[in-house]
Amino acid sequence: MLTFQAQFPNKWELFSFGISVKDVNVHLERERSEGISSPSRVDDSTLLNPETHSSILDDNTKTESRLPEVNGENSDGLCFSDGKSRIDYILVYRKSSSQSEKREVFERNIRAEGLQMEKEASLTNSDVIFLKLHAPWETLCRYAELMNIRMPFRRKIFYMHRRNKFMSRMEKRINKFRGWLPRKPMKLDNNTLPDLEENESFTAPFSRSRIHHFNIHNKDTFFNNATRSRIVHHILQRVRYEEGKNKMGLNRLLSNNSYEAAFPLHEGSYHSKNPIRTHGAENHRHLLYECWAWWGVWYKYQPLDLIRRYFGEKIGLYFAWLGWYTGMLFPAALVGLLVFLYGLFTLDHCQVSKEICQATDIIMCPICDQYCPYLRLSDSCIYAKVTHLFDNGATVFFAVFMAVWATVFLEFWKRRRAVLAYDWDLIDWEEEEDEVRPQFEAKYSNKERMNPISGKPEPYQAFSDKYSRLVVSASGIFFMILVVIAAVFGIVIYRVITVSTFAAFGWALIRNNSQVATTGTAVCINFCIIMLLNVLYEKVALLLTNLEQPRTESEWENSFTLKMFLFQFVNLNSSTFYIAFFLGRFTGRPGAYLRLINRWKLEECHPSGCLFDLCMQMGIIMVLKQTWNNFMELGYPLVQNWWTRRRLRREHGEKAKASFPQWERDYNLQPMNAYGLFDEYLEMILQFGFTTIFVAAFPLAPLLALLNNIIEIRLDAYKFVTQWRRPLPSQAKDIGIWYGVLEGIGILSVITNAFVIAVTSDFIPRLVYAYKYGPCAGQGRAGEGCMMGYVNASFSVFRVSDFEKRSQPRTNGSKLFGEAVKYCRYRDYREPPDSAEPYSYTLQFWHVLAARLAFIIVFEHMVFAIKTLIAYLIPDLPKDLRDRMRREKYLIQEMMYEAELERLQKEKNERKKKKDRAHHKEWP
């Protein structure tokens, strides 16, 4: 503990304000070169009162990892006109606005809180006024203490493990061998692209009384830009603009158009004339663009510490989760591709496909009324081969694998989140108590009761009022779900009507593939309906959430999130559920078809099965949805910003934009979504559902998701860095309510995949035939040779003369087959027309049904048992992190012990001095 004592002379004082010791068992990072350093000199200007705390601070001391000074910083619009005061926040309003009195009171109260401000008119529109805000050092210190912001106060202690000579020699040889190997291509090169983070330090809540303990080499850079903006926003949310307890906060002024926009500034341009590898980064935004948002680094890991430093912990956690999800998709995509390749390579050996392709003598019954002709079973050869690619022996294994994968993904994400929360000082961070929403206060200000925690009066919502609103909201949700079901019902009717239309089409290609054409057009129409209903759902979710009158912002956000997810999930997957579990299941049989409104015959599956329709539905919806989302996320802001630049060039010349200050350039960018990261999370959660819920029917879904996410990460990065105004940095410990949604999807995926394998695919009927009715019956084996005769056994016989009049085909098949068709075949297990009980179910039907039910029960119990076991075996905290946290506790105990020894020693020395002083007084 000698090293510890040398670095911490007064440990009791350090312990008294709640230190957080982290990562004490790591080696000392090598110092960065002086030429590559932090953008703090560009980002942070000198404060207005540099003489403050001069006894504590050394303003001439250079911080570590500093970037070279950029000439003309003041002209970039990062400071006030004096060139010293750093702009921490921007408010924008119009002079023509009618809310001038509220703004005047608000700005007067802003000055009273200690913020400095400066106004400047826009260069492009004199009606637009920019209000620049700057927080002086004293204000930052006061509110950092009130907000309990953790700041670094001592460098970390680094311990080197003692090694024996043999291990040291082995380590040197291993390092020498590693030097011959190429560098990891996915790692960022810290020599040329440093992360610009300070060396890891102990952190503690900031305290002005103990300011001399903190690492304040330069007070201009002690609070980084994100922290400064967060402090200013905290102040603005608590400033009044009128008399009255509800008349306060920037959000209210934005909602009543007193101010048009509010945002922190970007740290300069993301472009540079000089290469970053030779001249270094000019600012954090430039560095993020070069090592994260630029398309050339799509294969590298994300610089999460830089993202967190620039955008805050909440956005940093989103990109950390997205990166983790994308990385976990690699094994899922690989296994799914192997399953698909297995089906491709075994295609020529599949006995069922062979029999279908060779069944030229089997005549199938028409799949629709009147217009559909008789067909040979061999005409379904291509569809049978395509179905085998997705419905083969590896399907069950892949379904179990994906269920286990979803559990492993969530469990290991909890471990990853714990590490990030520890590294980012979020382990002990708790969200502030949510303030009551202004709308709730305005609605229930007449009824108050005492808060049992704070002891202060607060608005109160009666029990009857609260639950009556919840009932109305639930009724609205139910009604919207009925709207989705009605839309699916419309698609079903479209499919029923269109299949007959395509069967009578003049173009032979469409006529011969009427069922595929029907499915393809129905999926495209369904996609259009999905996109239209999504717009309606957002408005309905807002209306219902506001109708509920949630008390706090977090309650409002959770309620809105659940509604939007439920609406969009049902909207996106309802037609897929219909195809997977209802298509072709309730059609009846030839001669006794079930009909909608006693008019339209329900659609049947293709002779090769319904799995082909499900694969087409998932593939088209997934590709179209992801393409549309990527266009709306990046294409729309690009088009909007391009149009703005074009207008400015037309009005002010080609070089006008280069002379704009930073606030003007940021104002011309697009604001972040009104719901923050909601749209980003929702898109990925819905994709996760597509990847897991019906993956047994579409093994390529993880591969498509992986390819999309590799693009999605860079699209979101490019959008955040270049196309959007800088969002307000905020803190968060995890991804919030979305984790519970992911767990729910993981449970649902087990159930749906069990039903897809048992009901939609032909896996169970083939298994029953191989063990019970095939050539190998009773022998305990089920190879391809045991499937001989399966196709003939799975089709029943129908006598054409038993057709209903409205189902009778217009042609009797004599042109195609040379003679009139007397008997045709259909997919079912029924007795022949000449039996004692014609068209009744055979014993094989009941065997298959029992096997399907048994498979569902066994599959679900087995997979849920495996999921539970894996969740139990994988701890939420990694062992090394747990050891580091225990080490932290040990060090704190040592600090307390040594601080107490120092106190006792100090008291002993004081008593000795008093005794010596008294002895000297007695001397004559």
Measured distance CA(367)–CA(3) in Å, rounded: 84
How far apart are the two ends of the chain, measured CA to CA in Å? Answer: 47
Which residue, among 755, 777, 765, has the nearest Cα to 857 in the 3D structure?
755
pLDDT in tens, 710-749: 988 998 999 899 888 999 888 888 888 899 899 999 899 9
**What is the average per-residue pLDDT within 834-844?**
89
Specify the pLDDT at position 70: 34
Q: Decide if 725 contacts 783 (C-beta within 8 A).
A: no
Residue with tokens 């897809």: 756
Residue 74 has pLDDT above 70, yes or no: no
Q: How far is CA 695 from CA 400, 668, 750, 762, 766, in A?
A: 10, 43, 10, 16, 20
pLDDT band for position 658 (50/70/90)? low
Look at 51 and 525; give whichever has higher pLDDT. 525
Specify the pLDDT at position 521: 80
Residues in the chain: 924
And the tokens for 486? 């009605």
Determine the Cα angle at 163 with ends 158 and 168, to 5°: 110
Neighbours of 42 (CB within 10 A): 23
List phi, psi (to 5°) of 376.
-80, 145
pLDDT in tens, 267-277: 888 888 887 77
Specify the pLDDT at position 537: 84
Look at 755 and 55; give whichever has higher pLDDT. 755
Phi/psi-derived region of residue 133, left when phi > 0, alpha when psi is between -120 and 50, beta in every other case:
beta
Measured distance CA(685)–CA(410) in Å, rounded: 13
Which residue, among 233, 263, 238, has the nearest Cα to 435 in the 3D structure?
238
Look at 214 and 81; give whichever has higher pLDDT. 81
Mean pLDDT of the chain: 78
Look at 757 and 658; give whichever has higher pLDDT. 757
Neighbours of 658 (CB within 10 A): 8
The pLDDT > 90 percentage for the chain reads 14
Look at 186 and 610; give whichever has higher pLDDT. 610
Q: Is 92 helix (H, G, I), strand (E, B) or coil?
A: strand
Specify the pLDDT at position 921: 52
Tell me which amino acid residue 348 is.
D
Specify the pLDDT at position 212: 73
Look at 260 and 279; give whichever has higher pLDDT. 260
Residue 77 has pLDDT above 80, yes or no: no
Measured distance CA(801)–CA(821) in Å, rounded: 10
Among 65-74, 106-115, 219-228, 301-310, the range scoring the smallest mean pLDDT is 65-74
Measured distance CA(87)–CA(136) in Å, rounded: 10
DSSP string, 552-577: BHHHHHHHHHHHHHHHHHHHHHHHHH
Strands (E), 529-641: 588-589, 592-593, 595-596, 600-601
Specify the pLDDT at position 1: 36
Q: Decide if 27 contacts 160 (C-beta within 8 A).
A: yes
pLDDT band for position 531 (50/70/90)? confident
pLDDT band for position 451 (50/70/90)? low
Most confident of 27-31, 73-77, 767-771: 767-771
Q: Decide if 577 contacts 813 (C-beta within 8 A).
A: no
> What is the torsion angle, in degrees rounded to the nearest 10, for the CA atoms of residue 662, residue 665, residue 671 and residue 676?
-40
And the tokens for 326? 């994308």
Question: Could you give the residue ranges of the DSSP H alpha helices within 769-878?
Answer: 790-794, 814-817, 843-873
DSSP string, 306-324: HHHHHH-HHHHHHHHHHHH
pLDDT band for position 245 (50/70/90)? low
Measured distance CA(136)–CA(82) in Å, rounded: 14
Measured distance CA(197)–CA(305) in Å, rounded: 7
Neighbours of 848 (CB within 10 A): 22
Neighbours of 861 (CB within 10 A): 12
Measured distance CA(325)–CA(409) in Å, rounded: 7
Q: Is 18 helix (H, G, I), strand (E, B) or coil?
A: coil
Which residue, among 816, 799, 832, has the nearest Cα to 360 in the 3D structure?
816
Determine the Cα angle at 410 with ends 405 and 414, to 5°: 145
List phi, psi (to 5°) of 466.
-65, -50
pLDDT in tens, 142-154: 988 888 888 877 6
Measured distance CA(783)–CA(471) in Å, rounded: 56
Q: Tell me the three-class secondary structure of 510-568, residue by residue.
A: HHHCHHHHHHHHHHHHHHHHHHHHHHHHHHHHHHHHHHHCCCEHHHHHHHHHHHHHHHH
Q: Decide if 2 contacts 227 (C-beta within 8 A).
A: no
pLDDT in tens, 765-819: 888 988 888 888 777 777 777 888 888 888 899 998 888 887 788 788 787 787 8
Which residue, among 364, 339, 368, has the nearest Cα to 500 in the 3D structure?
368
Q: How far is CA 356 from CA 352, 393, 441, 584, 884, in A?
A: 6, 18, 70, 19, 64
For the chain, what are the domain ranges?
301-764, 882-923
Specify the pLDDT at position 133: 93
For the entire predicted model, the pTM comes to: 0.80
Question: Could you give the residue ranges of the DSSP H alpha helices within 223-360?
Answer: 225-236, 250-255, 276-279, 284-288, 304-311, 313-345, 351-358
**What is the average per-residue pLDDT within 613-637?**
77
- Within 8 A by CB and 6+ apart from 652, the residues are 123, 124
Q: Tell me the three-class secondary structure of 654-703, residue by residue.
A: CCHHHHCCHHHHHHCCECCCCCCCHHHHHHHHHHHHHHHHCCCCCCCHHH
Rg (CA), the chain: 35
Q: Is 128 helix (H, G, I), strand (E, B) or coil?
A: strand
Question: Could you give the residue ranges of the DSSP H alpha helices within 55-99?
Answer: none
Specify the pLDDT at position 159: 47
Dihedral sign for Cα 358, 360, 362, 366, please.
positive
**What is the average per-residue pLDDT within 459-487?**
85
Residue 849 has pLDDT above 90, yes or no: yes
Q: Decide if 600 contacts 491 (C-beta within 8 A).
A: no
And the tokens for 340? 């698909």
pLDDT in tens, 589-624: 888 888 877 777 777 777 777 777 788 777 777 787
Neighbours of 529 (CB within 10 A): 17
pLDDT in tens, 286-321: 888 988 888 888 888 888 888 998 998 899 999 999
Residue 51 has pLDDT above 50, yes or no: no
Specify the pLDDT at position 861: 92
Neighbours of 652 (CB within 10 A): 14
Specify the pLDDT at position 193: 53
And the tokens for 677? 């990261």
Measured distance CA(116)–CA(917) in Å, rounded: 54
Residue 856 has pLDDT above 60, yes or no: yes
Residue 894 has pLDDT above 80, yes or no: no
* Segment holding 119, helix H or strand E: strand 116-121
Tell me which amino acid residue 100 is.
S
Distance of CA 30 to the CA centre of its chain: 35
* Segment holding 912, helix H or strand E: helix 879-922
Specify the pLDDT at position 792: 87
Burial category of 622 from C-beta neighbours within 10 Å (exposed 0-12, middle 13-18, buried 19 and up): buried
**What is the average per-residue pLDDT within 321-325?**
94
Neighbours of 339 (CB within 10 A): 24
Measured distance CA(298)–CA(710) in Å, rounded: 7
Which residue, among 489, 493, 502, has the nearest Cα to 600 in the 3D structure?
493
* Helical packing angle, 514-548 and 463-503, nearest 10°: 170
The pLDDT > 70 percentage for the chain reads 79
pLDDT in tens, 509-530: 666 666 677 777 887 887 788 8
pLDDT in tens, 398-427: 888 988 899 999 999 999 999 898 888 887
Specify the pLDDT at position 164: 52
Q: Decide if 729 contacts 672 (C-beta within 8 A).
A: no
Specify the pLDDT at position 166: 58
